[in-house]
Amino acid sequence: MRLFAENLTCRRGGRLIFEGVGLSLASGEAVSLTGRNGAGKSSLIAMLCGRLRPEAGRIGVEGADEAELTELCHLVGHRDGLKTALTAQENLGFAQAVLGQPAATPVEALAAVGLAHAATLPVGYLSAGQRRRVALARLLVAARPFWLLDEPMSALDTASQAMLTGLMRDHLAQGGAILAATHGPLGLNEARELRIGP
C-alpha cells in the first residue's frame, strides 16, 4: 500500500504557503517532515488526511481497494481532541467505537503508553504530557496503516519520547507507515526527510 501526493499547492487566507510538493509513503516507511514554522507542515498533513483541500495537485492511495483515504489514516495533531470530563479509558473507547477496526482495548493502549494507573481519571486532571500520551494511545485502539503525526514528541518527557519511538518502530515492523512533522529527532534512523521551504 502506498500513499502519494503530487504537485500539491497550499494557499491559506489568500497567501501561498507552498507549491509543487510531492511525496510517497509506502508500507514500512517513515518520513520526517521538516521546515521552519509556518512552512506548511501542518497544512500538508491536513491535506493528506482530508481535512484541507489542496489548491492544486493530487493525493491518493495505491493498493487500498475501495477504502477511503480517511479510513486509512490516523491523525494526531497539535490539539489532543480529548473530552476533559471523560476518563482516559472512556475517551479511547469512544475513539475506538467511531473509528472501527478495533485493535488493542483502551486498557491495553493506556498500558502501552504508561498510563494504566490513570485509566479511570478524567482527562481534565491529567498533565499536558499525560494528555498527549492518551491522544497517542488512540493510534493503538483502531488499526490504520498510515500514521500522520504533527509534532508527536511535544509535551513528552524523555522516557515518553522513547516509548513513542518504540511504538513507531512496532508500527513500521508490522507494515505500517508514518509521516511525522517534527523539529527534532524521531529516533527513527531509517526515516527519510522531506523538507518544505528553504
Report pLDDT for 66.
63
What are the tens digits of pLDDT across the range 112-132?
999 999 999 999 999 999 999
- How far is the C-alpha of 41 from the C-alpha of 53, rounded, in Å? 14
Residue 21: its pLDDT value, please? 96
pLDDT 10s digits, 29-84: 999 999 999 999 999 999 999 899 999 999 999 987 766 888 899 999 988 999 99
- Residue 156, pLDDT score: 94
Q: For residue 85, name the pLDDT band (cuts at 50, 70, 90).
A: very high
pLDDT at 151 exceeding the cut of 80: yes
Rounded average pLDDT over 169-193: 93
Banded model confidence at residue 186, pLDDT cuts 50, 70, 90: confident
Share of the chain above pLDDT 70, in %: 99
Task: End-to-end CA distance of the chain: give it in Å, rounded.
Answer: 30
Task: Classify strands 177-181 and 73-76 as parallel, antiparallel or unpaired.
Answer: unpaired
Binned at pLDDT 50, 70 and 90, residue 198 comes out as confident
Q: In whole angstroms, what is the distance from residue 58 CA to residue 100 CA?
A: 27
Residue 155 pLDDT > 70, yes or no?
Answer: yes
Extract the C-alpha cell encoding 121.
481519571
- What percent of the chain shows pLDDT beyond 90? 85
